[in-house]
Amino acid sequence: MKKIVSLLLAMAMIFCLAACTSSSNEPAAPAEPSQPAETSEPAAPAEPAEELPITGQKDTLYLSMGTSSIGGSSYVVGGGLSKLFNEHIPGLDVAVEVTGGPQTNLELMDQGDAEMGLITAWAAMQAWNNEGWATHEMRNHRTVAPLWCSYFYIVTRADSPVNTLADINGMNVAAGSPGSSSDLIATELIDFFGLTPKSYSPLTADAQKDGFRDGTLDCIFIVNGNPSPALTDLQTTNELKFIRFTDEEMAKIKAEKSYWGWSTIAAGDYEDLTEDYDAIALYQLLYVDKDLPDTLVYEMTKEIFEYHDDLVNVDQGLKDSKIEKIDTATTPLHPGAYQYYVEQGIAVPDAGMPID
């Protein structure tokens, strides 16, 4: 029996071996041709970053510039500056705003309602330090460029009994709009010398001239350049008398109000000015918001000096717009403006050094 089982196992092994051999001799199925590897499209070169204009944004940048009442020097100069900037700086639109003057312009900039302003260095300093008329520190404004020197005129009609500053007691007097340089100086002087005019009115330049011509005003206080558009206009209808400070008054003002400068207007600069006229002098500068782009403010500063002759044609007072007059700055410069002065080799006063 064992022999039979052994025989059957041997036969089974032979059969399996034969089957395996037969299977291994069958030709293999042809391999499917391999597909060529997909080649990816070459990556497109990266688009260069779009260069933004000087304004720092793609869309038009709209800015508001505070000036003064219509007819004031700041309003005239502001119109010239806005035209210059709008024509030469792509993507910029500067609009001139009629305002009360430096104080109002500083308040608008402090509140974020204006990005630019024409302001006296004196008023800018008071706002920065919370002095004088200021009610708190205002530090949004940055200095850009000196523009022109303004002078404080005290004027009456040639036949008026007013001959000195003290003679305005009991008289009707007026200065510029509330917050203007003439309003700030006039009210300070009236208080300083204890004067008691019958009435004091802060008026627009046109209202001042109208009151002067119709006799409702006995004396007016004006802050303008030289020549003054307002006085040049008044001379066409009235003979003028320029009221001078006495030596004593001038000495007292200089001793206690050293933040005001002084300058002499030459005899003959006005038809009715027959002797040299010593006047309080205030430098007017352009200020901008501290957050305006450096590239934009640099370009504004550059345009002011490169197109100086065009600006002088707008207002002859701008002949005083010399780059060296940046030494009149009383508050920090905008970094963009500072860069321009450094490139031109112009010294900047300590008070004007940037802080941003």
The predicted structure's pLDDT at residue 51: 62
Q: pTM above the 0.75 mark?
A: yes
**DSSP of 30-42:** PPPPPPPPPPPPP
Separation between Cα atoms, residue 78 and residue 312, nearest integer Å: 12
Residue type, 311: L
Give 228's contacts (C-beta < 8 A, 6+ positions apart).
Answer: 73, 151, 153, 222, 270
Q: Which CATH superfamily is domain 151-281 in?
A: Periplasmic binding protein-like II (3.40.190.10)
What SS3 state is found at 96? Answer: strand
Q: Compute the distance between CA of residue 102 and CA of residue 67 in angstroms, rounded to an integer.
A: 8
pLDDT at 321: 83
Going residue by residue through the chain, which has 356 residues, state the pLDDT in tens, using 9 for 90 and above.
444 434 334 444 444 334 444 444 444 444 444 444 444 555 555 555 556 679 888 899 999 999 998 878 899 999 999 999 999 999 999 999 999 899 999 999 999 999 999 999 999 999 999 998 999 999 999 999 999 999 999 999 999 999 999 999 999 999 999 989 999 999 999 999 999 999 999 999 899 999 999 999 999 999 988 888 899 999 999 999 999 999 999 999 999 998 899 999 999 999 999 999 999 999 999 999 999 999 999 999 999 999 999 999 998 888 878 999 999 999 999 999 999 999 999 999 999 999 99
93 within 8 A of 124, measured Cβ to Cβ? no
- Are domains 61-150+284-352 and 151-281 of this chain identical in fold? yes
Cis amide prior to 227 (ω within 30 degrees): yes
How do the domains of the chain map onto residue ranges?
Answer: 61-150+284-352, 151-281
Q: Is it true that domain 61-150+284-352 has CATH number 3.40.190.10? A: yes
Distance CA 299, CA 304 (A): 9
